[in-house]
Amino acid sequence: MDGEPGQEDFGWYFEFELPEGRHCCVIGCRPGNGVDGPDWVIWLERSRGFLGSLVGARRRRIAPSAVRHLHESLLNVPDVSAVRWYERTDFEAWRADVSSPAP
């Protein structure tokens, strides 16, 4: 991790470097569905400049090793539970039935 996490209105983010390139981990809170309360959500992006962000480059070429590293890190945090992985389109559609416990 590079330095301290940054804060945004939706939560926090931090950047990290891998041999495959620079990535950004974004952490935010998604309102609950009225039953279970809010969910903490994390997603990975590629670190790109302003122009790259405008053309969707943050969503492309996320290294599988970044996903594995995040998953293994979460498994080692005692206060983290019920980790579920989604494809982006399923997550945005709130399709909980297609999640998995590992990437």
Q: Are 16 and 7 in contact (CB under 8 A)?
A: no
Number of domains in the chain: 1
- Cα within 13 Å of Cα(51), Cβ side: 0
pLDDT tens-digit map of 80-94: 888 888 888 888 887
Name the pLDDT band for 48 (thresholds 50, 70, 90).
confident
The one-letter code for the residue type at 60 is R
- Residue 85 domain boundaries: 6-98
On whether residue 90 sits in a domain, the answer given is: yes
| 1: in domain | no
pLDDT for the residue 35: 65
Residue 29 lies in a domain: yes
- Please tell me the distance from the alpha carbon of residue 98 to that of residue 91, in angstroms, as a whole number: 9
Mean pLDDT across 17-22: 91
Flag whether 51 is in a domain. Answer: yes
pTM of the model as a whole: 0.77
